[in-house]
């Protein structure tokens, strides 16, 4: 509505939420499912993120994810419903019943088709092209951070490490949480995160998808990864991965960030391979 900014639009009342069972453990606290009754009377299934440590600085970090999500509106990005900013603080999101893509790939490995796997990659890529247009870097692209809304629709989530790119500040708790095996060489070496390093991570996420959620470089220790990357070693082609897609991945894994394709270019290429897979 006119005259309401994003923070007002996302202010909701705790009385309108019925909390259900525990879905999982998040970094800051338990995540529950529940039902939210919207001002229009609609009942929406939601996921409720809670924060067990209510000190001011932890709370601020917890709520920073929601702060970024407020500005986002895309069919393949997890939708924020609202935030409750008084203790106990909650972040309320749309619920995606099928859970994390990583687990879903393992459960459905014998039923998923190549066309569907390409579709998931295309949808994640579209979400990232949207972020690229907003100058936002995600920094944690992996199948564990993608949720499955329906068998033909995935949503990119977990903006806990995301930042607008012109901001040079770092997430304090991140050093121990950094996902080394997903990271571009310049991110490992210099903590440098840009849209180009997101492109590298997206390549790793596509690799995970076609590997049915195997861990990238599971045969290496974190500490060995950078030496391998610098000597030119890359993740091998997963058996199910079409050669045209693997060739895109090798471009996403160019050592020089400025040589990697953009997300909008990747959307075009993936759309074409998806089309071909369905037609031929």
Q: Is 140 designated active site?
A: yes
Using DSSP, state whether 72 is helix, strand or coil: coil
Smallest gap from residue 139 Cβ to ligand ADP (A) = 12
Nearest approach, Cβ of 247 to ligand ADP (angstroms)? 32
Between 93 and 136, whose beta carbon lies closer to ligand ADP?
A: 93
Which residues of this protein are in contact with ligand ADP, per CB under 6 A?
A: 23-24, 26-28, 31, 47, 78, 93-96, 99-100, 147, 158, 160
Helix (H, G, I), strand (E, B) or coil at 123: helix
The single residue of 33, 140, 158, 198 carrying the catalytic annotation is 140
User: Measured between alpha carbons, how far is 189 from 32 in angstroms, rounded to an integer?
Assistant: 37
Backbone dihedral angles phi then psi of residue 131, each to the nearest 5 degrees: -65, -40
Helices (H), 114-221: 114-133, 174-177, 185-190, 195-210
96/207 with CB nearer ligand ADP: 96
Helix (H) or strand (E) holding 150: strand 146-150
| CB closer to ligand ADP out of 20 and 99 | 99
Closer by beta carbon to ligand ADP, 71 or else 230: 71
Q: How far is the CB of 175 from ligand ADP (least distance, A)?
A: 16
Least distance CB 45 / ligand ADP (angstroms)? 9
Which strands make up the sheet holding 43-50, listed edge to edge?
17-25, 30-37, 43-50, 90-94, 80-84
Q: Return all residues near 73 (Cβ < 8 A) that are at least 6 apart.
A: 79
The catalytic residues are 140
């Amino acid at each position: 509505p006119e005259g309401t900014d994003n923070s007002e639009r996302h202010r909701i009342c705790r009385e309108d939420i019925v909390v259900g069972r525990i879905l999982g453990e998040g970094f800051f606290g338990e995540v529950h499912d529940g039902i939210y009754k919207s001002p229009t009377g609609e009942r929406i299934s939601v996921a409720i993120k809670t924060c067990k440590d209510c000190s001011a600085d932890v709370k601020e970090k917890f709520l920073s994810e929601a702060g970024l999500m407020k500005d986002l509106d895309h069919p393949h990005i997890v939708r924020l419903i609202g935030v409750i900013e008084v203790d106990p603080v909650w972040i309320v999101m749309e619920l995606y019943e099928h859970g994390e893509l990583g687990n879903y790939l393992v459960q459905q490995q014998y039923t998923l088709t190549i066309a569907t796997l390409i579709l998931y990659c295309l949808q994640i890529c579209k979400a990232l092209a949207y972020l690229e247009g907003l100058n936002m870097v995600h920094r944690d692209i992996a199948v564990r951070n993608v949720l499955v809304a329906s068998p033909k629709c995935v949503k990119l989530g977990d903006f806990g490490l995301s930042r607008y790119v012109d901001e040079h500040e770092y997430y304090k708790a991140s050093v121990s949480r950094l996902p080394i095996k997903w990271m571009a060489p310049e991110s490992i070496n210099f903590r440098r995160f840009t849209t180009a390093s997101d492109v590298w991570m997206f390549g790793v996420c596509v690799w995970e998808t076609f590997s049915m959620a195997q861990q990238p470089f599971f045969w290496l220790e974190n500490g060995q990864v950078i030496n391998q990357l610098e000597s030119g070693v890359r993740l091998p082609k997963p058996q199910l991965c079409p050669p045209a897609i693997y060739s895109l991945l090798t471009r996403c894994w160019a050592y020089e960030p400025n040589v990697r394709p953009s997300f909008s270019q990747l959307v075009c290429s993936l759309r074409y391979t998806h089309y071909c897979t369905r037609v031929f």
